[in-house]
Every structure is written in structure tokens, then in C-alpha cells.
Amino acid sequence: MIREAGPRSTSRRRHKLGAFVLCALVLTPGHVPSVFGPLEKPTAVATLPAAGVVLAAGAGSGRRGTAQSNYGSLCASCHGPGGKGDGWRAWVFRLKMRDLTDPAYVQTLSDEYLFQIIKLGGATLGKPGMPSWGQELTDREIRDLIVYIRTLVPPSRSSQSPGAAS
């Protein structure tokens, strides 16, 4: 018996293609390094004695970007470019991200809590959706990122000058 391609089989093919494309977007190398471990093969430079000392001190890891560029490349896809929790991955996976521009919420987050959740990931603190970025960012870059996250909160009305228009 020969089957004809009907609307139902076409729909299944489109669904499978859509799932494949979604997986390819989400699992693109460089986007989820903490889940799959290191993505790059170690180079011969790491075998030099001087390089071993530098790597042991922690200076050999990290992205070497500004806090804003690190936020844009690592955080914005989930938390949104402005920190409102409206990133494309949050939308695709129907995740409810907290609004990092909400002053009442952000004040409850200590710098140490933010440091731990960025470095070690959310699973260690009961937030399993948050990946760890400790392999991608140095401690200094994480601390700079925390300072940048705190700048996403708009200034309160009480801190504006008295002559400012509302």
C-alpha cells in the first residue's frame, strides 16, 4: 500500500523540523558551555611551565570583555537586553525570569548570592534553570557583572533632583 502525503504527515514533518531547528539554536556551541563541559580542546600553550603558573592563578580563564558585553553575550538571551526577563530563550522555553529592573526585588539580592548563582549555577541554590558561568568568567568579571546588573535598576523618583519634571 502506498501512502500519499496528506496534511497530517506534512504537519509532522514541519513539527520535527521545527524541533530540530530549536535544538540547533539552543545547543549551539558557546551558548551552554556549563552543561556540556569545556568546548575547546586544550592547546599546546598550556603545557609550557609559565602558562601552568598563570592558569593556576586563575588569570588564564575568562572572557576579557566588559561587564556590559558579558551580560549581552551570556545573560541577555534569558534575562533580556534590559534585564526585564524578556529574553528570547525565556520566551521559547516559557520560563518566568525575574525582573532585574525591579528595585524592590534587586535590593533583596546580596552581592554574595549573585556571585554564587552566576559562578556555580542555580542548581546549587534551588534555581535549576540558571547555568553556571564559573568556567567562562573570572571572579573579577563576575563581580563586574554584578555591578552592571545593579545599574539596570532605574533610579528611584526620590533620588531625582527636585526640579526634575515628572
Domain locations in the chain as residue ranges = 64-155
pLDDT at position 9 over 80:
no
What tens digit of pLDDT does each residue of 96-115 get? 888 999 999 999 999 999 99
The confidence score (pLDDT) of residue 2 equals: 60
Query: CA torsion sign, 65 to 140 to 90 to 29?
Result: positive
More confident residue, 148 or 95: 148
Mean pLDDT across 9-17:
59
Amino acid at 12: R
CA distance 12 to 116: 43
Query: What's the CATH number of domain 64-155, 1.10.760.10, 3.40.640.10, 2.30.42.10, 1.10.1060.10?
Result: 1.10.760.10
What pLDDT, on the 0 to 100 scale, is given for residue 10? 58
What size, in residues, is the chain? 166
